[in-house]
Amino acid sequence: MDFALSEEQTAIFDMAYGFGQEHIAPYARDWEAQGSIPKELWREIGALGLGGIYVSEDNGGSGLTRLDATLIFEALSMACPSVASFLSIHNMCARMIDAYGSDDLRARYLPKALTMETVLSYCLTEPGAGSDAAALKTRAEKTGEGYSLTGTKAFISGGGYSDAYVVMARSGGEGPRGVSAIVVEDGMPGLSFGGLEDKMGWRSQPTRQVQFDAVAVPAANLLGEEGKGFNYAMAGLDGGRLNISACSLGAAQAALDATLAYMAEREAFGQSIDRFQALQFRLADMEIELQAARTFLRQAAWKLDRGAPDATKFCAMAKKFVTEAGSRVADQCLQLHGGYGYLADYGIEKIVRDLRVHQILEGTNEIMRLIVARSLVAR
Ligand SMILES: Cc1cc2nc3c(=O)[nH]c(=O)nc-3n(C[C@H](O)[C@H](O)[C@H](O)COP(=O)(O)OP(=O)(O)OC[C@H]3O[C@@H](n4cnc5c(N)ncnc54)[C@H](O)[C@@H]3O)c2cc1C
């Protein structure tokens, strides 16, 4: 058992960290105010090979492991978790096309997705189907040429902003086996978007409903086999959960680092506040929580990389543990800044707001417990 990162992994982390500090951190608040991330940033990220982090090298991707990916998302989130998590969603979609797409579909969508000339969104949730995603109702009716899509997807990160959407829609009967995954391009007639959602965090990412009104999609845009879309969507989520956890970890670590620096400077009762033992113990508790979260996350990623039979359970456990630890740490960091923690200039309140949603999406943390509990009861 070796817990050390390899030289290559350390270099990957350093590259992502350096990029984030130079090209993301200084602008993250402006992008939040604008409610959008400049598309130029994605081209720069694509040039680093981060548009297809675990897309196979045979198909032009970087071919990195899930563990490598957690390092990238941890490092980028130290600059801005909203930007980093958006990249995770794009990567989830790119990997689905890589893993399940026909040669034709890959040839049409992957090259530009890898350079991030095109940005991809993942459309599973509907207004009436969130945790119970297999109850989705968006229809994909067969036509002579392909499919006609009708329905509404809710909460779509990148809705009205992305260039293509991986859409889970019902081409068959009830339940997960009736779901297919279909790639829908921006601009297809009948595709429209709801208004911009006004959110607590992740404010630099546009979130909108994505609406389909008899959108005609060619049969060649079916991802993999008909009726397997739900499996593909769930397989994508194991890695997505690791990435989101890494985003919580990186941002919470950045909050702790900033808090240590702040406490060394800030004085009360004639000494810097990091001299109070009660507060030192809170710092120690946060350090312990983040190190435990990091180790657990990397173990789950290692299991996913090896295709371990319990990888899904470990991804779920890590997602619940790490996202909750990240939010607890960020909240404590805000408290230790006193009133300044509540001010946007100090950067902590944004982290608290951005991390909260990580307990809700990619499967809520209740659903993570459901996955774990089912595996225990089945045994
Ligand atoms: C900012 C943001 C961005 C998002 N981006 C995307 C995206 O890009 N693509 C996408 O497809 N979706 C996206 N989502 C949707 C997200 O995945 C869902 O919100 C999430 O899965 C929960 O679904 P819901 O909101 O319908 O809640 P519900 O499923 O209605 O759940 C409500 C509550 O009930 C609990 N609950 C439900 N079922 C059970 C159960 N069986 N046992 C115990 N508790 C249960 C839940 O945990 C939750 O606390 C996004 C959401 C947000 C907020």
Q: pLDDT per residue over 91-128, tens digit each?
A: 999 999 999 999 999 999 999 999 999 999 999 999 99
* pLDDT of amino acid 236: 84
User: Helix (H, G, I), strand (E, B), or coil: what is residue 118?
Assistant: coil
Residue nearest to atom 17 of ligand 1 (CA): 361
> How high is the mean pLDDT of the chain?
97
Nearest by Cα to 184 from 134, 142, 149, 231: 149
Residues 6+ apart with CB under 8 A from 32: 82, 203, 204, 350
**Does 157 contact ligand 1 (Cβ within 6 A)?**
yes
Using one digit for the tens of pLDDT, what is the confidence trace for 354-366?
Answer: 999 999 999 999 9
**C-alpha pair distances (Å), 32 with each of 37, 49, 196, 226:** 8, 25, 13, 39
Q: In the annotation, is 267 catalytic?
A: no
pTM of the model: 0.97
Residue 346 has pLDDT above 90, yes or no: yes
Residue 379 has pLDDT above 60, yes or no: no
* pLDDT of amino acid 294: 98
User: Which member of 8, 287, 362, 366 is catalytic?
Assistant: 362
Average pLDDT over residues 129-151: 97
**DSSP bridge partners of 168:** 181
**Distance, CA 375 to ligand 1 centroid (Å)?**
21
**Distance, CA 327 to ligand 1 centroid (Å)?**
18
Whole-angstrom Cα distance, residue 76 to residue 53? 13
**C-alpha pair distances (Å), 80 with each of 118, 333, 351:** 21, 16, 8
User: Helix (H, G, I), strand (E, B), or coil: what is residue 210?
Assistant: strand
Residue 328: how many other CB atoms lie within 10 Å: 17
**Does 122 contact ligand 1 (Cβ within 6 A)?**
yes
User: Helix (H, G, I), strand (E, B), or coil: what is residue 8?
Assistant: helix
CA angle 211, 215, 217 (to 5 degrees): 130
Whole-angstrom Cα distance, residue 51 to residue 54? 9
> Counting atoms of ligand 1 from 1, which one is nearest the CA of 121?
8
Using one digit for the tens of pLDDT, what is the confidence trace for 217-273?
Answer: 999 999 999 999 999 999 889 999 999 999 999 999 999 999 999 999 999 999 999
**Range with the poorest average pLDDT among 103-107, 193-197, 234-238, 372-376:** 234-238
Residue 2 has pLDDT above 90, yes or no: no
